[in-house]
A and B are shown apart, each in its own frame.
Chain A
């Protein structure tokens, strides 16, 4: 007999082949459709740099860059991003050389516990690429989706403004 439960059981067995490029490396594996991009990265690919702070799109810790845009990986199912290019915090430094923003975070002590940091950095890189934020107050507003409970806020914005300025001078 086909019941709701048996249908569900069947559905839960369903797996899709998923291919995406993560930090420049093509990655393929089967995954169930209910797996979020965040859990896919952390639990299936062992890319644990992307953080889970709420799983509800409230804290920004899971921010990654997807096809050039910052997105919340916890509100994204992995299967939605078939064929996408994803950059996580692990892919920001190139050949061991820190991105200027990563160095600015260290120099400005823009983190304490470090748990919101990958999200802050990915979000800031995405924001700078968006080209919308010029002033300090715009940066603060456009970074406000990324919470920091340690209270490193002023140092985080200082670090971003440093890089922002540098980018403007180029």
Chain B
């Protein structure tokens, strides 16, 4: 266990303190085991075989050569697979978009390039990988389309469905956009092109399925939702919900890729059930490009403003890729009117179904896409108007959310602008493009605004006082590296008045209290609120128990007349009257006291408000004048995200978002060859993400923001907001440095030559 005493904690409350990750010891010593690291006995290894065509049918699969290899157990494919759930909706997980979920091995139909079409199972990984190359597949091919740009004319409105409740459609138009835009003395327009991106967490997607006999499974899976995967497996394979246990103790990054059950889960479970053996299936790095991705998206903006910089007309339209079988959507065009109170607006969002796998939420989905277009158009408008870009944001500062005609539950964006600008030294910027230099390098300053909705989903938590008088809390939630274990422990410790070492928070197991998928920056607000609710209920049980004791001094006490501190319940009126948790447990016949509670968003109260985290990013770039090479030399992101439970782990979330911003603006892109309908750089040597040498001076500010409405904790989440503003700020800085407005990501040196 980690030596807790090494952390210097300064009293109460623990919430708000920069506490080091409680799982740090396990992670730096290699003791932390991820889903592919449970080396159970008699393990078989599955290797997925992928289609090499983009669309068509499988005519035949010849497995004879593969099966002749010693150690090969079998090859599963559509022709010999076991019977599976018939209704496609049984494959729908909690994050399934409207449509028909992909069903592996359903039939011989190939819907996209790299589709998993067979699983080879062998007694070693090496044998499985090798023998898989000996499986011969014959196809007939059909015509396909994978190119968004070439198929824009086919764009249509997305279908509605259950999973779209977190993803509202574009806001209704206000006023008369065309007329207002026509009349506006200052205008800025843009066309923004984003390519495909893949999440590429460092850990490969792996499932180790332990066959416990009689249809009972213990599944170690890489996922962002243990209960989501439990539901999926039970539904698809017709198992009892309780016989399926999904465990994800450590998750080696996910960024959205684990929001839906991935292929390796299906294959590992299918093989384990059929062979009645323990089976591990790992998708290799190449195969990590064969499921969800951030969809390529093309956006158009037209903003109009008065001579004094008031934005009067906002138009933002997006056309995005989806698959043929599901209508995956993002919130791309809803942000502009939340940020800028124009009287005339027009927003559109449409999809083009193509022969690709369904896109999937990837860190700041939609937000990082849309805000690039919005904030770079605002930047362009600032140059047209000859107004400082920061000043233009302040002139158009939205005191309320005009898009829904509601006040914000809290909004300290102005502080983000001012504190961020101060820290960065924005006042040293000279307004003209190409006016700042460092030797042979052009220097540019750019800024942009970020926004991300503060959401809360229903979640449960279980809390109990153990026989030793300590606190145990559990939730099925995962910790994908965000610091969930640490922040939940802080919340629980404060609620019960316990030191951190008396609290154990366990998680990542579908057997535990229900938690939704971990994403959208809503985990702290959803599960954190549940932890608080469970602790509050536990306090009431403790008081109730205390009242039943002989000569109890608490008989007349109400719950608001006691406090829970120093491992005891204490009377507020008379602090010499108290009872320790261990004495309470003794009085309870040495039995634990437990409470399991739900926390729900307070819908009636919340619907009167818009709830969002905000940010402002300031970026300095240096561009080599002759070579066009771009370097982000320093950046500041100031964030208003309500209460920050742990400034250390929260800062890391924002830093991560800032590195992702550099990656999005300058590095990462999955490149397709549309002649083959195939991704061409399916590895992390050719799929570029920043390395240490690319990352320089990054600074994070959390501005004070109190929010008594958003949820019990006053938190808004910090997973996405770090990636909201900065990509655009980088593009804007490049414009300031070079005078070239590049609206296509990633921006490469050749575009600047």
Check B689 against A112 for contact (C-beta < 8 Å): no
Asked if A129 is an interface residue, CB under 8 A from chain B, the answer is no
> Secondary structure of the B side of the interface?
loop
| Binary interface encoding of chain A residues 18-38 relative to chain B, with 1 for a CB under 8 A from any of its CBs, else 0 | 000000000000001011000
Asked if B568 is an interface residue, CB under 8 A from chain A, the answer is no
Asked if B28 is an interface residue, CB under 8 A from chain A, the answer is yes
Stretch at the interface among B301-309, B579-587, B648-656: B648-656
Check A59 against B28 for contact (C-beta < 8 Å): no
Check A13 against B70 for contact (C-beta < 8 Å): yes
Asked if B432 is an interface residue, CB under 8 A from chain A, the answer is no
Beyond A112-B656, A151-B658, is A35–B252 a contact (Cβ under 8 Å)? no
Check B65 against A98 for contact (C-beta < 8 Å): no
Give Cα A139 to B691, complex, Å: 12
Q: Which residues does chain B contribute within 8 Å of A46, judged by CB atoms? A: 39
Q: Distance in Å from the Cβ of B619 to the closest Cβ of chain A? A: 15
Check B482 against A35 for contact (C-beta < 8 Å): no
Asked if A86 is an interface residue, CB under 8 A from chain B, the answer is no
User: Which positions in B face A, CB cutoff 8 Å?
Assistant: 2, 6, 20-21, 23-34, 36-37, 39, 65, 68-71, 124-127, 130, 200-204, 250-255, 282, 284-285, 480-483, 648-649, 651-653, 655-660, 683-685, 689-693, 695, 697-698
Docked complex: A102-120 residues within 8 A CB-CB of B: 102-103, 105-107, 109, 111-118
Check A149 against B255 for contact (C-beta < 8 Å): yes
Q: Distance in Å from the Cβ of B41 to the closest Cβ of chain A? A: 11
Check A156 against B692 for contact (C-beta < 8 Å): yes
Check A12 against B69 for contact (C-beta < 8 Å): yes
Beyond A105-B24, A149-B255, A153-B690, is A55–B685 a contact (Cβ under 8 Å)? no
Q: Which residues does chain A contribute within 8 Å of B34, judged by CB atoms? A: 48, 51, 115
Asked if A80 is an interface residue, CB under 8 A from chain B, the answer is no
Beyond A98-B29, A102-B29, A114-B481, is A53–B202 a contact (Cβ under 8 Å)? yes
Q: Which of A58, A88, A156 has the most CB of B within 10 A?
A: A58
Check A115 against B202 for contact (C-beta < 8 Å): yes
Asked if A75 is an interface residue, CB under 8 A from chain B, the answer is no
Stretch at the interface among A65-73, A89-97, A162-170: A89-97
**Which of A49, A109, A116 is close to B29, meaning CB atoms less than 8 Å apart?**
A49
Check B25 against A150 for contact (C-beta < 8 Å): no
Give Cα A5 to B69, complex, Å: 9
Q: Which residues does chain A contribute within 8 Å of B698, judged by CB atoms? A: 154
Check B657 against A112 for contact (C-beta < 8 Å): no
Check B655 against A114 for contact (C-beta < 8 Å): no
Check B21 against A109 for contact (C-beta < 8 Å): yes
Asked if A79 is an interface residue, CB under 8 A from chain B, the answer is no
Q: Which residues does chain B contribute within 8 Å of A52, judged by CB atoms? A: 36, 204, 282
Instruction: Find the A residue at minimum CB distance from B254.
Output: A113
Instruction: Find the A residue at minimum CB distance from B32.
Output: A114
Q: Distance in Å from the Cβ of A75 to the closest Cβ of chain B? A: 12
Check A54 against B684 for contact (C-beta < 8 Å): yes
Give Cα A106 to B689, complex, Å: 24
Q: Distance in Å from the Cβ of B332 to the closest Cβ of chain A? A: 23
Q: Which residues does chain A contribute within 8 Å of B282, judged by CB atoms? A: 52
Instruction: Find the A residue at minimum CB distance from B251.
Output: A113
Instruction: Find the B residue at minimum CB distance from A137.
Output: B693
Instruction: Find the B residue at minimum CB distance from A92.
Output: B29
Beyond A102-B29, A147-B684, A155-B652, is A12–B21 a contact (Cβ under 8 Å)? no
**Which of B32, B651, B660, B691 is close to A109, meaning CB atoms less than 8 Å apart?**
B651
**Which of B252, B657, B683 is close to A115, meaning CB atoms less than 8 Å apart?**
B252
Check B28 against A147 for contact (C-beta < 8 Å): no
Chain A to chain B contacts (Cβ below 8 Å), 20 pairs? A9-B69, A32-B124, A34-B130, A52-B204, A53-B204, A54-B285, A56-B683, A61-B202, A90-B29, A109-B651, A111-B481, A112-B253, A112-B481, A113-B203, A115-B252, A144-B693, A147-B689, A149-B689, A150-B656, A153-B655
Q: Which residues does chain B contribute within 8 Å of A139, judged by CB atoms? A: 692
Check A151 against B655 for contact (C-beta < 8 Å): yes
Check A59 against B20 for contact (C-beta < 8 Å): no
Beyond A42-B37, A98-B28, is A112–B482 a contact (Cβ under 8 Å)? yes
Interface range for A: 35 or more
Instruction: Find the B residue at minimum CB distance from A114.
Output: B27
User: Which positions in A face B, CB cutoff 8 Å?
Assistant: 5, 9, 12-13, 32, 34-35, 39, 42-43, 46-56, 58-59, 61, 88-90, 92-93, 98, 102-103, 105-107, 109, 111-118, 121, 137, 139-141, 143-157
Check B69 against A117 for contact (C-beta < 8 Å): no
Q: Distance in Å from the Cβ of A103 to the closest Cβ of chain B? A: 8
Q: Which residues does chain A contribute within 8 Å of B127, judged by CB atoms? A: 12
Check A51 against B655 for contact (C-beta < 8 Å): no
Q: Which residues does chain A contribute within 8 Å of B23, judged by CB atoms? A: 114
Q: Which residues does chain A contribute within 8 Å of B70, judged by CB atoms? A: 9, 12-13
Q: Distance in Å from the Cβ of B257 to the closest Cβ of chain A? A: 10
Q: Distance in Å from the Cβ of A140 to the closest Cβ of chain B? A: 4
Q: Distance in Å from the Cβ of B480 to the closest Cβ of chain A? A: 6
Instruction: Find the A residue at minimum CB distance from B34.
Output: A115
Instruction: Find the B residue at minimum CB distance from A97.
Output: B3
Give Cα A35 to B71, complex, Å: 15
Check A151 against B481 for contact (C-beta < 8 Å): no
Supply 6 further A-B pairs (C-beta < 8 A) apart from A109-B21, A149-B255. Answer: A111-B481, A143-B692, A147-B202, A151-B690, A153-B695, A157-B692
Q: Which residues does chain B contribute within 8 Å of A112, judged by CB atoms? A: 253, 481-483, 652-653, 656
**Which of B28, B202, B253 is close to A102, meaning CB atoms less than 8 Å apart?**
B28
**Which of B30, B69, B253, B697 is close to A150, meaning CB atoms less than 8 Å apart?**
B253
Beyond A61-B202, A109-B652, A115-B253, is A140–B693 a contact (Cβ under 8 Å)? yes
Beyond A105-B24, A113-B251, is A146–B692 a contact (Cβ under 8 Å)? yes
Check B202 against A113 for contact (C-beta < 8 Å): yes
Give Cα A141 to B201, complex, Å: 22
Give Cα A103 to B25, complex, Å: 8
Check B69 against A48 for contact (C-beta < 8 Å): no
Q: Which residues does chain B contribute within 8 Å of A93, judged by CB atoms? A: 29
Give Cα A16 to B272, complex, Å: 31
Q: Which residues does chain A contribute within 8 Å of B253, judged by CB atoms? A: 112-113, 115, 149-150
Give Cα A47 to B285, complex, Å: 21
Give Cα A87 to B579, complex, Å: 51
Q: Which residues does chain B contribute within 8 Å of A35, judged by CB atoms? A: 126
Q: Which residues does chain B contribute within 8 Å of A13, judged by CB atoms? A: 70
Check A55 against B203 for contact (C-beta < 8 Å): no
Beyond A54-B683, A109-B651, is A48–B482 a contact (Cβ under 8 Å)? no
Q: Which residues does chain A contribute within 8 Å of B483, judged by CB atoms? A: 112
Give Cα A42 to B204, complex, Å: 14
Q: Which residues does chain B contribute within 8 Å of A114, judged by CB atoms? A: 23, 26-28, 32, 250, 252, 481
Instruction: Find the A residue at minimum CB distance from B206.
Output: A52
Beyond A43-B39, A43-B125, is A59–B693 a contact (Cβ under 8 Å)? no
Check A58 against B683 for contact (C-beta < 8 Å): yes
Q: Which of B27, B69, B649 has the most CB of A within 10 A?
A: B27
Check A5 against B692 for contact (C-beta < 8 Å): no
Q: Which of A9, A103, A156 has the most CB of B within 10 A?
A: A103
Check B65 against A58 for contact (C-beta < 8 Å): no
Q: Which of A98, A145, A148, A151 has the most CB of B within 10 A?
A: A151
Beyond A150-B253, A151-B656, is A48–B37 a contact (Cβ under 8 Å)? yes
Q: Distance in Å from the Cβ of A130 to the closest Cβ of chain B? A: 16
**Which of B30, B68, B202 is close to A50, meaning CB atoms less than 8 Å apart?**
B30
Q: Which residues does chain B contribute within 8 Å of A89, judged by CB atoms? A: 28-30
Check A49 against B25 for contact (C-beta < 8 Å): no
Q: Which residues does chain B contribute within 8 Å of A105, judged by CB atoms? A: 24, 28
Q: Which residues does chain A contribute within 8 Å of B6, judged by CB atoms? A: 103
Q: Distance in Å from the Cβ of B653 to the closest Cβ of chain A? A: 8
Q: Which residues does chain B contribute within 8 Å of A5, judged by CB atoms? A: 65, 68
Beyond A32-B126, A106-B21, A150-B481, is A111–B27 a contact (Cβ under 8 Å)? yes
Instruction: Find the B residue at minimum CB distance from A118.
Output: B30
**Which of B252, B255, B683 is close to A51, meaning CB atoms less than 8 Å apart?**
B252
Q: Distance in Å from the Cβ of A63 to the closest Cβ of chain B? A: 12
Check A140 against B692 for contact (C-beta < 8 Å): yes
Check A117 against B28 for contact (C-beta < 8 Å): yes
